[in-house]
Every structure is written in structure tokens, then in C-alpha cells.
Copies of this chain bind each other. A is one copy, B any other.
Amino acid sequence: MSDGPWLSKDELASWMRLVAVLELLPGVLDSQLRRDDGLMHFEYFVLAMLSEAPDRTLQMRDLAARTNATLPRLSHVVRRLEERGLVARTPCPQDRRATNASLTDTGWAAVRAAAPGHAATVREYVIDALSPEQVDQLKGISAAILSRLDPQGTMAPAYTRYDG
């Protein structure tokens, strides 16, 4: 039942549900962060990646890789975050073409303030909906899909950080 491009009925039932999750979940995450912390989910993700980096600093290029952003997109986002005082950009000493983005103290405080509410949302809509076995299955399924979506492991620094 897995010949040709078409999907079997069981595969379709699985896929359609995943599509619905893809449609609904980002909106829920965005709404909560936007309402409670004035951040889009992608902005929160950028700040979170910086907060976990050495010196809370990453080169734009590396930050773009971890967040799956194009460099233009990241440039716009970081400029806006800088205008709000959450991030600072400094020229990279090693390579004068490069720019380092650093989390400011204000940005660090913003991430720490936003994290509990965000985690609670993730728990409410995802983790607490699943059994412990399903949480484990989800890790395996996501990892398998990521091996196709991200074969080079470009985003791996973002998602392998909490592995045992």
C-alpha cells in the first residue's frame, strides 16, 4: 500500500490530521505570546536561541540556520528586536563582514518572563494531550521527518539541545 505517489486511506487519515495541526498550532502559540508578552513565536524562538548560546551571542548566519530563517528575514527581525532594546548587534571581530547578535539584559529578562506562559501553553495543547508513550513516539516521528526535512542537520543545534 505504498506504491506510487498516492496515499492510502490510512496514510491520508494520518496526514490530514497533521495538516490540521500545522494550521492550528502556530496560531495558538503566536496568540498566547503576542497577548501575554508582545512577541511573535518566531521572535521568541530567536531570543531563546540566543539565550542558550555562549555569551548569549550568535553570528547572524548561525542564528539564521538555527531558526530556519533566511538572512533577509532575520535581518528585519533582529533590527526590530534591536529597536525594542532586546538584542544588540555588534561587528564580528574575526570577520568584518559578519555581525554578531547578542541578547541584552532586557532581552534576557523578556525571555525569562515569557518562558513559563509559553511552556504552559505547550503543555496545555500538546504535552498534556498525550500519554507519556505518545510523547516518546512523537520524538521518534519528528526525528524521522526531520531526517528528510533537514538532512544536513542545519537546525539540529535547536532541537538536539535537550537530548539525554
Contacts and interface: CB of A to CB of B under 8 A. Distances in A.
Does more than half of chain A's interface fall in helix, strand or loop, or is it mixed? helix
A136 B137 CA distance: 11
A164 B10 CA distance: 8
Nearest to A7: B119
Contacts of A20: 68, 142, 146, 149-150, 155, 158-159
A71 interface: no
Interface string A5-46: 111011111111111111111111000000000000000010
Contact of A164 (B5, B9, B24, B67): B9
Given A9-B164, A123-B7, A137-B141, A25 B149 contact: yes
Given A127-B11, A149-B24, A150-B20, A141 B144 contact: no
Contacts of A125: 145, 148-149
A94 interface: no
A142 B9 contact: no
Interface of A: 2, 5-7, 9-28, 45, 67-68, 116-117, 119-120, 122-130, 134-150, 155, 158-164
